[in-house]
Chains A and B, each alone.
Chain A
């Protein structure tokens, strides 16, 4: 790799230029469509924009209003509950399934797509299916009653203290297969010689995984964490499809909050300020990862 900086004389000037030319459309697009738009949003958050963007600056008023809204606090605390449970459970299920599937399982070719397929479905599909399944009147509870288990009760989706957990269930269902694939890929990439050497030293299966395999999966853990956390922060579709933010506004998340203030409540300024807070959260999560990512391959 050192070669690229040491300057090889064979390169002509033109050849030196081509890579940058190839990269430039993507960079230009990104500068406009991502960073330009972020700047635009930050600007909007300081204006009194209502239905359409306006350019009258009003300072930090939107931020003050935002933090005074109880719905925003609900959204933020819901995100904390949702994100932590979602990330932990998805990682746990993904890792478990990957480890179990890696035991030379017959039928892996059938099981793997079964675990993976929810990722292929759109939120409308996931939401419709789960909304049904979790509805006590027509779904699981009703089915259990019809099958004779009269005392069975599962009405979380109707309970404003529990509804957020149904979002966790559906979200875990959708992505844990994908996390499994990442861990499985990580497991398959581990050199078996190392494991055999440890076995010869008398390590048990449990020790093998805890001491050797899991630490070696660090990159997979990192990737899973980043993908899951950004999905958690961006979670919008599933909430809309599953609970519509209800009962009441008990399952509001920052992304649904931002959408509703920007587009249905005609308070674009407040919507933009919540978007800025979200972006800052994402940046706080991402920066350490990016730093590590970029440092590893200098």
Chain B
């Protein structure tokens, strides 16, 4: 094969290539199976699920569960479906991702190009903050949010997600900017460019790949968060809380087909982001975060 000519230097024979494809396809199957089960069962009437084979295709195809999960399923006292909560999630995710990414970029820029005494200790502390288990911050966070009057509001939720996201975004940008030639920054300084001008003109234009990584990471984590949403969401509970209400209802009939449809609906935005931006994801990782 042509292995040696382009980006990989390793040569492989025809037989082993077949084997490689086989292994890759098997893994693809492993990754797809649970999703297949969800999808197939979300398109069946309930009777077919409780009585039948979970792998079988529906005998009667129906999109009823999807419509129900979206707009008529019982989430609380009113049968609103997931629809209104979707908007709540968007209102929370967009500012939280944007703010934490901007801070991450600026922090990374400072920590690599405007270094000062003790900066690596600060960065170390910041990095460690990525690893704090969220359950332990619940009570003190509630106290602080109450004190500053942001409890039970979207702003409060945005604040929480920004605070616990900055560690990650800073890590990504710092590692990315570290490999960017400092000479260019220095030259710009000598030309009289200031802090923000250099950031705007020199750093930002090359930040595409790592911004993709940062946005994907933050978007996924914030969108999928349940603990903070349930605790601090107040009247603007995010999608995950609604989905949990849908699938966890403790007494009463479980409509599994609606649960599956709801689960997929709640995952659509993150799936979309992964699939659309996934190509840049590896590139972004390559450019930054895995180069220790």
- A–B direct touch, CB within 8 Å, in complex? yes
- Name A residues whose Cβ lies closer than 8 Å to a Cβ of B: 1, 3-5, 8, 10-11, 15, 18-20, 22-23, 25-27, 29-30, 32-38, 40-41, 52-53, 93, 96-97, 100-105, 109, 111-126, 128-130, 132-133, 138-139, 142-143, 146, 173, 177, 181-182, 184-186, 188-189, 192, 195-196, 199, 205, 208-209, 218-220, 222-223, 230, 233-234, 236-237, 255, 258-259, 262-263, 268, 272, 275, 278-279, 282-283, 286, 290, 292-294, 296-298
**Given known A103-B12, A128-B263, A296-B292, contact A138–B6 (CB-CB < 8 A):** no
Asked whether B190 is an interface residue with its Cβ less than 8 Å from the other chain, the reply is yes
A100–B38 CB distance below 8 A: no
Is B123 touching A120 in the complex (CB atoms < 8 A)?
no
What are 10 inter-chain pairs, A to B, with CB distance below 8 A?
A30-B125, A102-B10, A103-B10, A125-B266, A130-B34, A189-B291, A199-B11, A222-B292, A234-B131, A236-B135
Of all A-B residue pairs in the complex, the 7 with the closest CB atoms, nearest first, are A219-B292, A122-B224, A185-B286, A195-B9, A19-B114, A185-B285, A129-B34
B292:A223 contact, CB within 8 angstroms: yes
* Contact residue among A1, A29, A104, A125 (Cβ-Cβ distance under 8 Å from B6): A104
Q: Which residues of A contact B292 (CB under 8 A)?
A: 218-219, 222-223, 292-293, 296
Task: Chain A residues near B155: list those with CB within 8 A.
Answer: none
Assembly CA distance A47 to B279 (angstroms): 51
Q: How far is the CB of A229 from chain B (nearest CB, A)?
A: 9
Complex Cα distance, B278 from A112, in Å, reads 8
B128 within 8 A of A: yes
Chain B residues lying within 8 Å of A297, measured Cβ to Cβ, are 120, 178
B76 at the interface (CB under 8 A from A): no
Determine whether the beta carbon of B135 is less than 8 Å from that of A117. no
- Interface check B88, CB cutoff 8 A: no
Task: State how many angstroms separate the Cβ of A6 from the closest Cβ of chain B.
Answer: 11
**0/1 per residue, B94-117, Cβ < 8 Å to A?**
000000000100110011011110
CB pair B53 A124 closer than 8 Å: no
The reply on B15 being an interface residue by CB < 8 A is no
**Is the Cβ of B226 less than 8 Å from the Cβ of A262?**
no
B129 at the interface (CB under 8 A from A): yes
User: Contacts A113-B278, A192-B8 hold; do A124 and B106 have CB atoms under 8 A apart?
Assistant: no
A242 CB → nearest B CB, Å: 12
Binary flags per residue of B28-60, CB closer than 8 Å to A gives 1, else 0? 101111110110010000000000011100000
Q: Which of B115, B138, B266 has the most CB of A within 10 A?
A: B115
C-alpha spacing A255/B227, complex, angstroms? 13
Pair B110/A102 contact, Cβ less than 8 Å: no
Best-buried of A22, A25, A130 by chain B (most CB within 10 Å): A22
A255-B196 Cα distance, complex, nearest whole Å: 42
Contacts A4-B113, A103-B17, A111-B28 known; list 19 others, CB within 8 Å.
A10-B189, A10-B190, A11-B189, A29-B162, A30-B163, A37-B136, A37-B140, A40-B140, A41-B140, A103-B12, A120-B267, A125-B264, A129-B37, A130-B34, A188-B286, A195-B10, A282-B131, A283-B128, A298-B120
C-alpha gap A261/B196 in the complex (Å): 48
Q: How far is the CA of A138 from the CA of B51 in the complex (A)?
A: 9
Q: In the complex where A33-B141, A93-B27, A111-B28 touch, is A133 in contact with B286 (Cβ < 8 A)?
A: no
CB pair B53–A142 under 8 Å, yes or no, is yes
Query: How many A-B contacts if CB must be within 8 Å?
Result: 300
Q: How long is the Cα–Cα vector from A298 to B138 in the complex, in angstroms?
A: 36
A26 touches B107 (CB 8 A): yes
B148-178: CB near A (< 8 Å → 1, else 0) gives: 0000000000000011101100100000001
Per-position binary interface string of chain B over residues 213-227, scored 1 when its CB falls under 8 Å from any chain A CB and 0 otherwise: 000000010011010
- Contact between chains at B124 and A290 (CB < 8 Å): yes
Inter-subunit contact A173/B164 (CB<8 Å): no
Q: Is the CB of A111 within 8 A of B24?
A: yes
Chain B residues near A118 (CB-CB < 8 A): 31
Q: Are B132 and A279 in contact (CB under 8 A)?
A: yes
Interface membership of B67, Cβ < 8 A: no
Contact indicator A112/B282 (Cβ below 8 Å) = yes
- Select the residue from B132, B134, B283 with max chain A CB neighbours within 10 A: B132
The smallest C-beta distance from B151 to any residue of chain A, in angstroms, reads 15
Distance to closest chain A CB from B97 (angstroms): 14
Q: Is B182 an interface residue (CB 8 A)?
A: yes
Cα A275 to Cα B134 with chains together (Å):
10
Contact (Cβ within 8 A) B55 A143? yes
- Residue from the list A23, A120, A255 in contact with B271, Cβ < 8 A: A120
Tell me which residues across on chain A come within 8 A of B271, comparing CB atoms. Answer: 117, 120-121
Inter-chain contacts of A186 with B (CB < 8 A): 286, 290
Query: Using a CB-CB cutoff of 8 Å, which residues 224-249 of chain B contact chain A?
Result: 224, 226, 240, 243-244, 247
CA–CA, A128 and B162, complex, Å: 29
B253 interface residue (CB < 8 Å to A): no
